[in-house]
Amino acid sequence: MGDIAASSKLEENLDLLLGPALHTFSVFSCMTVSLGEDGAGLGTVRGRQTALRMLKGAGFGEVAVREAEGDILNVYYLARKGS
């Protein structure tokens, strides 16, 4: 699963490249569209901690977080079901 490489804690994203733009997209598009469809309203920058919590809550026992060389925006989660 690909996601924005960010923290779930706003204060930990102060130096995030494109952080202000990502949080703006989140408030004005992603989060509001999600809430309008009865979704969780997580937004663009839900963060690593929330992603890991949600993956584990969905039954993925083994989750590895990887970055791709040259990709300054994303992080990738490799998840397996089970223990």
- Reported as half-sphere exposure (CB side, CA atoms, 13 A), residue 13 has a value of 20
pLDDT, residue 76, reads 97
The DSSP 8-state label assigned to residue 28 in this structure reads I
Residue 63 has pLDDT above 90, yes or no: yes
Mean per-residue pLDDT, 21-38: 91
Q: Using pLDDT thresholds of 50, 70 and 90, give the confidence band for residue 83.
A: low
72: Cβ–Cβ under 8 A, 6 or more apart, which residues? Answer: 5, 17
Q: For residue 46, what are its two tokens?
A: 């839900």
